[in-house]
Amino acid sequence: MKPSYFFSVFILLSIFSCQPEVESEQEKPNVIIIFTDDQGYQDVGVFGAQGFKTPHLDQMAAEGIKFTDFYAAQAVCSASRAGILTGCYPNRLGIHGAFMPNAAKGLNPEEVTIAEMLKNNGYSTAIHGKWHLGDAQEFLPTRQGFDEYFGIPFSNDMWPNHPQQGSVFNFGPLPLYENETVIDTLNDQTMLTTQITERSVDFIKRNKENPFFLYVAHPQPHVPLFVSDKFKGKSERGLYGDVIMEIDWSVGEILKTLKEEGIDENTLVIFTSDNGPWLNYGEHSGSAFPLREGKGTALEGGQREPAIARWPGHLEAGKTISTPMMNIDVMPTIAEVTRSQLPDRIIDGKSVWSVWTGQTDESPQDAYFFYYHVNELQGVRYKNWKLYFPHSFRSLNGREGGKGGLPVPYEYLKFEEVALYDLESDISETNNVADQHPEVVNTIKVLADQMRARLGDALTDVKGTETRDPGRIER
In this prediction, residues 202-226 reach a mean pLDDT of 98
Label residue 30 by pLDDT band (50, 70, 90). Answer: very high
Give yes or no for a contact between 254 and 201, defined as CB atoms under 8 angstroms apart.
yes
pLDDT at 1 > cutoff 50: no
pLDDT at 5 > cutoff 80: no
Dist CA 296 CA 396 (whole Å): 12
Three-state DSSP at 215 gives: strand
pLDDT at 241 > cutoff 80: yes
If 0-12 CB within 10 Å is exposed, 13-18 middle and 19+ buried, where does residue 233 land? exposed
pLDDT at 60 > cutoff 90: yes
Give per-residue burial for 127-145: e unless 16+ CB within 10 Å, then b. bbbbbbbbbeeebbbbbbb
Strands (E), 311-384: 319-321, 325-326, 368-372, 376-382
In this prediction, residues 3-19 reach a mean pLDDT of 39
Taking all residues of the chain, what is their mean pLDDT, rounded to a whole number? 93
How high is the pLDDT of residue 20? 32
Q: Which of 56, 77, 284, 391 is catalytic?
A: 77
In this prediction, residues 460-467 reach a mean pLDDT of 42
As beta bridge partners, residue 55 has: none
What is the separation of C-alpha 379 from the centre of its chain, rounded to a whole number of angstroms?
19
Active site annotation includes 132: yes
pLDDT at 12 > cutoff 80: no
pLDDT at 463 > cutoff 80: no
Dist CA 252 CA 460 (whole Å): 47
Give per-residue burial for 398-415: e unless 16+ CB within 10 Å, then b. eeebbeebebeebeeeeb
pLDDT at 322 > cutoff 80: yes
Q: Which of 96, 128, 132, 222 is catalytic?
A: 132
Percent of the chain with pLDDT over 90: 90
Active site annotation includes 77: yes
Label residue 26 by pLDDT band (50, 70, 90). Answer: low
What tens digit of pLDDT does each residue of 184-195 get?
999 999 999 999
How high is the pLDDT of residue 15? 35
Label residue 27 by pLDDT band (50, 70, 90). Answer: confident
What tens digit of pLDDT does each residue of 251-298 get?
999 999 999 999 999 999 999 999 999 999 999 999 999 999 999 999
Dist CA 133 CA 131 (whole Å): 6
In this prediction, residues 16-28 reach a mean pLDDT of 48
Cβ neighbours of residue 378 under 8 Å, at least 6 residues apart?
A: 298, 370, 371, 372, 388, 389, 391, 393, 459
Dist CA 163 CA 156 (whole Å): 12
pLDDT at 341 > cutoff 50: yes
Dist CA 235 CA 249 (whole Å): 13
